[in-house]
Amino acid sequence: MQKTITGFSKLSKIEKIDWLVHTYFTDSNSAKTLLKQYWNTDSKLQQLHDEFIENTISNYYLPLGVAPNFLINDTVYTIPMAIEESSVVAAASKAAKFWLDRGGFKAEVISTEKIGQVHFTFEGHPEDLKKLFENVIKTTLIIDSKDLTKNMEKRGGGILDIQLRDKTFLLDHYFQLHATFETVDAMGANFINTCLEQFATTLKREASIHLDGQLNVIMSILSNYVPNCLVRAEVSCKVEELGENGSASPMEFAEKFVQAVRIAEVEPYRAVTHNKGIMNGIDAVVLATGNDFRAVEAGIHAFASKDGRYSSLTHAKIENDMFTFWMEIPLALGTVGGLTKLHPMVKFALELLGEPSAKELMKIVAVAGLAQNFGAVKSLTTTGIQEGHMKMHLMNILNQFEATSEEKTTLVKHFKTHTVTHSSVMKALESHRK
């Protein structure tokens, strides 16, 4: 059957599904039934989901879990996490409980600047452009954007600064307007992009009046690299307080932990996996609160490379018999706009967190990432990562083999004292069934 189609977006939802299942699936009825099983039974709620994006055919669910006992700046939180990976929520909860009795997490927002740029080329004399920018264009950009910024300014935000940057050493004739913004509790993408497009209009107009030489605007867009939208999260305690049931002494544990973090600071192959563990915690909370985890990921990984080599986002030290573990990361988040007032589960997550401001959410998300990394490094340097992870993964393996409730109960009990692997679970299940 022909697999290309014209006018797909104009089809109804049912027509889209009919075309898909008959074109791509051998059992079209089963495929269609599956898609409908994941529709919401509340038609209004389903319509809301259908209108989030284009060409919707069904919903794709992720588990929403919670990690309790997070003591952050003397306030206890239960943190919502939307994620499909086994052991993430368990590790976060375990780390939260560990630090609950050791003073909890401390977090502070260092800065909240966000960035947008107008990229353009100018083929005249650079000095003429620079003089015009300082004497005319910079002020005019602010004036022409007043209608766009007045509501944001009422909330304490707006345009912070606009710079002309000469990038001709990178590309011939390449310049940019580099603007910084404060968007308060909004992530601010739409606000920033609207301002930038106005900047481009003003720039082209003023250049055509005052400058000799062709000026062409290439694009106007915010940047997801926000190195001046920073939050710091930290835990610390006396080394002697790190003791738990185990063979290593508190100092041995602390020294090995610090060394593991230092390896991630200098070895990119380790740093990528190390930071992925941090993002397990961060992405899960970002997704649960309706924020853009792709933008957060891109900005954080760029920040991890800011010194010319990809490195660990977290750091650890032992100083004067004190163990300290911390992280500074860029986080551009919002608690108004976007999905925050539309998606029912996002509203639930934000209410669970006490309706935080954007700054408060930055702290919570950063702490979730730090806790996740603490749990991972602690496991790696003591029992090994697989012992805990595979036991959490056990239920997924049993579901793959369509184990019954009785079989699950028996096998979970069995693997409390046996090593979990895919093959060992398969053998144990086969033995039980015989």
Residue 149 lies in a domain: yes
Please say if 85 is a catalytic residue: yes
Q: Please tell me which residue in 97, 178, 276, 301 is annotated as part of the active site.
A: 276
Both structure tokens of 339: 């999905």
Residues 102 and 122 placed together within one structural domain of the fold? no
| Average pLDDT per block of 10 residues along the chain, 434 residues long | 88 96 96 95 93 95 97 98 94 96 97 98 97 97 97 96 98 98 94 97 97 96 97 97 78 96 98 98 98 97 97 98 98 90 93 97 98 95 65 73 83 77 80 80
| CATH number of the domain bearing residue 373 | 3.90.770.10
Domain count, the chain: 4
Residues 418 and 349 placed together within one structural domain of the fold? no
Please say if 147 is a catalytic residue: no
Residues 190 and 320 placed together within one structural domain of the fold? no
Interhelix angle 385-400/422-433, rounded to 10 degrees, is: 50
Residue 2 lies in a domain: no
Both structure tokens of 132: 């015009």
Residues 101 and 122 placed together within one structural domain of the fold? no
Residues 28 and 70 placed together within one structural domain of the fold? no
Residues 267 and 200 placed together within one structural domain of the fold? no
Residue 365 lies in a domain: yes
Please say if 292 is a catalytic residue: yes
Please say if 131 is a catalytic residue: no
In which element (H, E) is residue 130 found?
A: helix 126-132
In which element (H, E) is residue 109 found?
A: strand 106-109
Residues 265 and 375 placed together within one structural domain of the fold? yes
Q: Please tell me which residue in 18, 85, 113, 328 is annotated as part of the active site.
A: 85
Domain containing residue 121: 114-223
A 10 A CB-CB count for 212 gives 9
Cα–chain-centroid distance for residue 217? 31
pLDDT of residue 37: 95
